[in-house]
């Protein structure tokens, strides 16, 4: 089935000014056809991107749940993002407008504008260097621990060019988190920087990497990019300065993009799950790029005249998909900002919109809540009327946050949605689709599953849930962009995502579909928490706590927070001989920060003598959470354990009396 991008529906019920106003019925019909024939549907989209060799089979489903999209096809992600454009009039179009965080005389001190040709040249030079200096080739894994500077996408694209796999670790993670990921991914080399600017401070990334490498087996070399120019210790024979490495490489050197198989791994990105260590999600090339192509058009309605800005960090999936591969594949001009959106003042983000005339804006609920707190006077200082379309991502958007941005930037008339997806899905799955059609918006909803995605809300037995009833979010069909596997752990992949409901992808979120068919994702159904949009597993924080010798056992739960959405609180049982104290609390908080990173700040540590457990010795997490929030665990359907209602009640009473909870 070919896709008609100009599709529009005749009946206009959307507010004035929205593109392609449609009816929900018309969209549902179109969507239904797309999922009934999803193979052909996605093949139609895939044929819009450039292949060196066309696929033999749209979907190889001979070994579920390990699907191969566009099997037999060959392409290269770096070719799609660069070579394609430099052959056209986009050659001298600006690809990335990069703004560094530091300011001087009221202006950003460092701004770099890279055209598609600049980016093409830099990526070729870096690929040449990686290939000749470090013999990087297809199948190798390159670790990247860089701040938000242009070298980050450049190294990702260079790796992709060589057919190598890259593994980016968010620059807010600690040494332990880096070594754990680099060891699991078996990275050969790691790319870092002398430092990063964030919130007016410099963070010494290189020494964090040095610490990590004490526990890392496979890394042979470190490349250090200069950013802050503070002095760093270089280990002879192991560490090289990036600028030195690049000195002799001519500007016009060319490295042929490797013809990689559609199903070969483009990257591994670690993400937190319910139990165990972070899971390395492996994303392919063909399916992934196809999904990004479709969503850049449907969701962001991207056009050549747009200035696109996604505020995420490239260290998370949103940046991989919607700063690096999506917008560059579409030949967009995009803003990339290094630092905090509220540094040095609350208006920084709005000043960026004004300075570059941002027209498509991708932000997050946590950021918006921060701006609300700062006050609307800051956004009013700037002309943000160039923005014609906005989306949010990372966590459910509360209606107040939605309304605030809709009013102050959206002029109460432009499309504004909340895109639901996850590291695992590779790209956006549920969204408003202003590039395709627009139905009326509702404050806080995610909208509709995108074409070709059979998302559903189901009950415990996997049957579709009734309208307005809470259930589990699932995706019923394989889709391009889904992970190939969990790196080196296929059993876990099958178990985590495809065992709760056989053959159906279990996302781990609670959701509701309302009577108009709109999806509302409510939050995680498992032990994953989103702190300021950053995904953390409570298990990781518990493991970190166990590193402290005073801790016998702990349970970490997420509690609601006005600014960050959720924050972690730890319940801790001390080993005999240790006494609870304010000082010990602070020590434990520090232990977690050190082990996981600054994003893992415990809001509180509560010392208890016992944790409520089921007969099979599982911690009754819902009870712990209920106590932390100060509300009885009323809803028994959320109890994934075998405890009876009475047991839960008793456990709640006991624990809350111990912590002195007045809400008992």
User: What does the binding site for ligand 6R9 look like in residue numbers (CB under 6 A)?
Assistant: 271, 316-318, 393-396, 418-423, 446, 507-509, 521, 523-524, 530, 535
Specify the residue, 394 or 452, whose C-beta has the smaller distance to ligand 6R9: 394
**Residue 296 CB, nearest distance to ligand 6R9 (Å)?**
15
**Residue 310 CB, nearest distance to ligand 6R9 (Å)?**
11
**Residue 14 CB, nearest distance to ligand 6R9 (Å)?**
20
SS (H, E, C) 22-90: CCHHHHHHHHHHHHHCHHHHHHHHHCCCCCCECCCEEEECCCCCCCEEEECCEECHHHHHHHHHHCCHH
**Is 149 in a helix, a strand, or coil?**
coil
Compute how many other C-beta atoms are within 10 angstroms of the C-beta atom of residue 17: 13
**Residue 257 CB, nearest distance to ligand 6R9 (Å)?**
28
**Residue 294 CB, nearest distance to ligand 6R9 (Å)?**
16
Specify the residue, 65 or 195, whose C-beta has the smaller distance to ligand 6R9: 65
**Residue 392 CB, nearest distance to ligand 6R9 (Å)?**
6
E strand or H helix at 268: strand 267-271
In angstroms, what CA-CA distances link 534 with 145, 197, 399? 17, 19, 20
**Residue 592 CB, nearest distance to ligand 6R9 (Å)?**
19
Contacts of 499 (CB under 8 A, 6+ apart): 506
Compute how many other C-beta atoms are within 10 angstroms of the C-beta atom of residue 92: 11
**Residue 577 CB, nearest distance to ligand 6R9 (Å)?**
40
Tokens at 230, concatenated: 């503070």
Contacts of 302 (CB under 8 A, 6+ apart): 296, 308, 327, 330, 332, 360, 435
Specify the residue, 120 or 170, whose C-beta has the smaller distance to ligand 6R9: 170
Burial class (CB in 10 A: 0-12, 13-18, 19+), 517: middle
In angstroms, what CA-CA distances link 426 with 70, 228, 284, 628? 16, 32, 9, 33
Q: Which residues pair with 606 in a beta bridge?
A: 571
Specify the residue, 3 or 169, whose C-beta has the smaller distance to ligand 6R9: 169
DSSP 595: H
Specify the residue, 316 or 571, whose C-beta has the smaller distance to ligand 6R9: 316
Q: Which residues pair with 124 in a beta bridge?
A: none
**Residue 388 CB, nearest distance to ligand 6R9 (Å)?**
20
**Residue 617 CB, nearest distance to ligand 6R9 (Å)?**
28
Specify the residue, 79 or 145, whose C-beta has the smaller distance to ligand 6R9: 145
Question: How, if at all, do strands 360-363 and 307-310 pair?
Answer: parallel
**Residue 322 CB, nearest distance to ligand 6R9 (Å)?**
9
**Residue 513 CB, nearest distance to ligand 6R9 (Å)?**
14
Specify the residue, 102 or 523, whose C-beta has the smaller distance to ligand 6R9: 523
Specify the residue, 73 or 315, whose C-beta has the smaller distance to ligand 6R9: 315
Tokens at 382, concatenated: 């700037």
Specify the residue, 66 or 421, whose C-beta has the smaller distance to ligand 6R9: 421
Specify the residue, 470 or 649, whose C-beta has the smaller distance to ligand 6R9: 470
Specify the residue, 108 or 447, whose C-beta has the smaller distance to ligand 6R9: 447
Burial class (CB in 10 A: 0-12, 13-18, 19+), 418: buried
Burial class (CB in 10 A: 0-12, 13-18, 19+), 381: middle
Specify the residue, 317 or 414, whose C-beta has the smaller distance to ligand 6R9: 317
**Residue 271 CB, nearest distance to ligand 6R9 (Å)?**
5
Q: Which residues pair with 189 in a beta bridge?
A: 142, 221
Residue-by-residue DSSP string for 506-567: EEEEEEEE-TTS-EEEEEESSSEEEETTEEEEHHHHHHHHHTSTTEEEEEEEEEEETTTEEE
**Residue 533 CB, nearest distance to ligand 6R9 (Å)?**
6
Specify the residue, 435 or 483, whose C-beta has the smaller distance to ligand 6R9: 483
Specify the residue, 188 or 320, whose C-beta has the smaller distance to ligand 6R9: 320
**Is 571 in a helix, a strand, or coil?**
strand
**What's the order of all strands across the beta sheet hosting 141-145?**
239-241, 221-225, 189-193, 141-145, 165-168, 267-271, 279-283, 485-486
What is the rounded distance in angstroms from the CA atom of residue 416 to the CA atom of residue 403? 10
């Amino acid at each position: 089935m070919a896709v008609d991008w100009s599709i529009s529906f005749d009946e206009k019920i959307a507010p004035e000014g929205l593109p392609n106003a449609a009816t929900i019925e018309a969209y549902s019909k179109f969507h239904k056809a797309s999922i009934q024939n999803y193979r052909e549907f996605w093949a139609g989209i895939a044929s819009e991107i450039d292949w060196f060799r066309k696929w033999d089979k749209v979907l190889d489903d001979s070994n579920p749940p390990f699907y191969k999209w566009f099997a037999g096809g060959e392409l290269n992600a770096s070719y799609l993002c660069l070579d394609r454009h430099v052959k056209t009039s986009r050659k001298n179009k600006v690809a990335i407008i990069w703004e560094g965080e530091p300011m001087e005389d009221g202006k950003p001190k460092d701004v770099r504008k890279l055209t598609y040709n600049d980016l093409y040249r830099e990526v070729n030079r870096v690929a040449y260097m990686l290939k000749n200096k470090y013999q990087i080739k297809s199948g190798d894994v390159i670790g990247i621990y860089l701040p938000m500077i242009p070298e980050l996408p450049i190294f990702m694209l260079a790796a992709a060019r060589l057919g190598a796999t890259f593994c980016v670790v968010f620059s807010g993670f600690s040494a332990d988190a880096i070594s754990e990921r680099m060891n699991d991914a078996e990275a050969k080399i790691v790319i870092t920087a002398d430092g990063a600017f964030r919130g007016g401070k410099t963070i010494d990334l290189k020494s964090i990497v040095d610490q990590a490498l004490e526990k890392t087996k496979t890394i042979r070399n470190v490349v250090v990019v200069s950013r802050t120019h503070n002095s760093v210790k270089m280990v002879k024979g192991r560490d090289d300065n990036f600028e030195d490495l690049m000195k002799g490489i001519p500007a016009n050197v060319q490295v042929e993009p490797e013809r990689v198989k559609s199903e070969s791994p483009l990257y591994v990105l670690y993400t937190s799950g319910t139990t165990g260590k972070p899971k390395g999600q492996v994303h392919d090339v063909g399916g992934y790029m196809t999904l990004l192509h479709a969503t850049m058009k449907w969701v962001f309605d991207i056009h050549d005249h747009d200035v696109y800005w996604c505020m995420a960090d490239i260290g998370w999936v949103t940046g991989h998909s919607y700063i690096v591969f999506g917008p560059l594949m579409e030949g967009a001009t995009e803003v990339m900002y290094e630092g905090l959106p509220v540094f040095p003042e609350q208006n920084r983000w709005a000043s960026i919109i004004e300075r570059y005339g941002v027209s498509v804006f991708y932000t997050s609920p946590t950021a918006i809540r921060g701006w609300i707190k700062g006050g609307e006077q800051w956004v009013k200082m700037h002309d943000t009327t160039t923005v014609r379309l906005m989306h949010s991502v990372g966590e459910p958007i509360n209606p107040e946050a939605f309304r605030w941005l809709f009013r102050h930037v959206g002029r109460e008339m432009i499309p504004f949605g909340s895109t639901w997806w996850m590291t695992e899905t590779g790209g956006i799955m549920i969204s408003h689709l202003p590039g395709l059609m627009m139905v009326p918006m509702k404050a806080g909803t995610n909208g509709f599953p995108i074409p070709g995605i059979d998302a559903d809300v189901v009950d415990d037995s996997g049957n579709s849930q009734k309208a307005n009833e809470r259930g589990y979010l699932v995706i019923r069909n394989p889709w391009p962009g889904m992970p190939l596997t969990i790196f080196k752990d296929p059993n876990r992949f099958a178990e985590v995502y495809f065992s709760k409901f056989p053959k159906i992808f279990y996302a781990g979120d609670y959701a509701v579909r309302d009577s108009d068919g709109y999806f509302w994702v409510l939050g995680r159904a498992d032990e994953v928490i989103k702190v300021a949009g950053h995904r953390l597993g409570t298990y990781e924080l518990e493991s970190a706590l166990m590193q402290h010798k005073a801790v016998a056992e702990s349970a970490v739960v997420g509690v609601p927070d006005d600014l960050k959405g959720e924050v972690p609180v730890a319940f801790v049982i001390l080993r005999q001989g240790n006494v609870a104290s304010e000082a010990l609390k602070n020590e434990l908080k520090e232990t977690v920060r050190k082990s996981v990173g600054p994003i893992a700040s415990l809001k509180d540590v509560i010392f208890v003598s016992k944790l409520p457990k089921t007969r099979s010795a599982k911690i009754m997490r819902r009870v712990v959470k209920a106590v932390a929030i100060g509300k009885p665990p009323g809803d028994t359907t959320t109890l994934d354990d075998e405890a009876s209602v009475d047991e839960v009640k008793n456990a709640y009473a006991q624990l809350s009396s111990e912590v002195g909870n007045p809400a008992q």
